[in-house]
Amino acid sequence: MPKKDNMEIGLAVIGCGTIGRIRAIMARDYPGVGWLGLCDINEDLGKKLAADVDADFFTTDHEELISRPEVNAVMIVTDENKHVDPTLFALEKGHKHLFIEKPLATNPLDSRKMVEAIEAAGADAVVGYTQRFRRRFLTVKERLSQGQIGPVTTVVTRAFMNRMVPIATIEKTNERNNLTPMVVSGTHSLDMSMWLMEGKTPTSVYAQSVDTALSYLGTKDSTLGIFTMDDGTIFSMNISWALPIVWPGSVYGLEIGIVGTKGVIDIEDTHRDLVMATEDVLGAGYSPEGFKPKFERHVDFLTSYPPGDLWKGQLWGPMREETNAWYARVHTGLETPHATAAEAHRNLVCTMAMDISAKRGERVELPIAEEELGL
For the stretch 174-217, pLDDT in tens is 555 678 999 889 999 999 999 999 999 999 999 999 999 999 99
Phi and psi (nearest 5°) for 90? -60, -40
CA distances from 218 to 105, 107, 173, 295 (A): 19, 17, 11, 21
In this structure, of 42-46, 166-170, 181-185, 368-372, the range with the lowest mean pLDDT score is: 166-170
Reply yes or no on whether the pLDDT at 293 is more than 90: no
Q: How far apart are CA 340 and CA 35, in angstroms?
A: 25
Q: How far apart are CA 135 and CA 150, in angstroms?
A: 22
Provide mean pLDDT across the span 94-113: 95
CA distances from 169 to 36, 291, 370 (A): 27, 9, 24
Reply yes or no on whether the pLDDT at 272 is more than 80: yes
Same domain, 202 and 139: yes
Q: What percentage of residues in the chain have a pLDDT greater than 70?
A: 95
Q: Whose CA is closest to 51, among 8, 12, 16?
A: 16
Reply yes or no on whether the pLDDT at 7 is more than 70: yes
**Rg of the chain over all Cα atoms, to the nearest angstrom:** 20
Phi/psi-derived region of residue 202, left when phi > 0, alpha when psi is between -120 and 50, beta in every other case? beta
Residue 291: pLDDT band (50, 70, 90) is low
Same domain, 142 and 111: no
Cα angle, residue 372 at apex, residues 366 and 374 outer, rounded to 5°: 125
Residue 5: pLDDT band (50, 70, 90) is confident
Same domain, 155 and 114: no
Q: Indicate the helix (H) or strand (E) that contains 53.
A: helix 43-53
Reply yes or no on whether the pLDDT at 3 is more than 60: no
Position 285 scores a pLDDT of 64
Residue pair 155/276 in contact (Cβ under 8 Å)? The answer is no
- Looking at the structure of the chain, the number of domains it has is 2
Same domain, 201 and 175: yes
Residue 315: pLDDT band (50, 70, 90) is very high
Position 112 scores a pLDDT of 97
Note whether residue 305 is domain-resident.
no
CATH number, domain of 90, equals: 3.40.50.720
Residue pair 271/253 in contact (Cβ under 8 Å)? The answer is yes
Provide mean pLDDT across the span 147-167: 95
Residue pair 23/13 in contact (Cβ under 8 Å)? The answer is yes
Note whether residue 3 is domain-resident.
no
Same domain, 157 and 241: yes
Residue 141: pLDDT band (50, 70, 90) is very high
Provide mean pLDDT across the span 283-309: 80
Residue 290: pLDDT band (50, 70, 90) is low
Q: Helix (H, G, I), strand (E, B), or coil: what is residue 159?
A: strand
Residue 81: pLDDT band (50, 70, 90) is confident
Position 165 scores a pLDDT of 84
Note whether residue 367 is domain-resident.
no
Structural domain containing residue 231? 134-300
Same domain, 67 and 188: no
Note whether residue 309 is domain-resident.
no
Same domain, 121 and 259: no
Reply yes or no on whether the pLDDT at 4 is more than 60: no
Note whether residue 369 is domain-resident.
no
Note whether residue 342 is domain-resident.
yes
Same domain, 276 and 332: no
Same domain, 26 and 120: yes
Contacts of 367 (CB under 8 A, 6+ apart): 349
Reply yes or no on whether the pLDDT at 288 is more than 70: no
Position 289 scores a pLDDT of 57
Q: How far apart are CA 205 and CA 252, in angstroms?
A: 24
Position 2 scores a pLDDT of 39
Provide mean pLDDT across the span 70-85: 96
Same domain, 45 and 144: no
CATH number, domain of 151, equals: 3.30.360.10
Position 269 scores a pLDDT of 96
Note whether residue 178 is domain-resident.
yes
Reply yes or no on whether the pLDDT at 286 is more than 70: no
Q: What percentage of residues in the chain have a pLDDT greater than 90?
A: 83
Position 170 scores a pLDDT of 80
Residue 1: pLDDT band (50, 70, 90) is very low
Same domain, 205 and 238: yes
Q: Whose CA is closest to 109, among 78, 88, 79?
A: 88
Provide mean pLDDT across the span 53-80: 97
Same domain, 202 and 294: yes
Residue 227 neighbours by CB distance under 10 Å: 26
Query: Could you say which DSSP state residue 368 is in?
Result: -
Query: Long-range contacts for 116-123 (Cβ within 8 Å, ≥24 apart)?
Result: 117/87, 117/88, 117/91, 118/87, 118/91, 118/341, 119/341, 119/342, 121/91, 121/94, 121/96, 122/96, 123/91, 123/95, 123/96, 123/97, 123/98
Note whether residue 221 is domain-resident.
yes
Q: How far apart are CA 120 and CA 117, in angstroms?
A: 5
In this structure, of 230-234, 296-300, 361-365, the range with the lowest mean pLDDT score is: 296-300
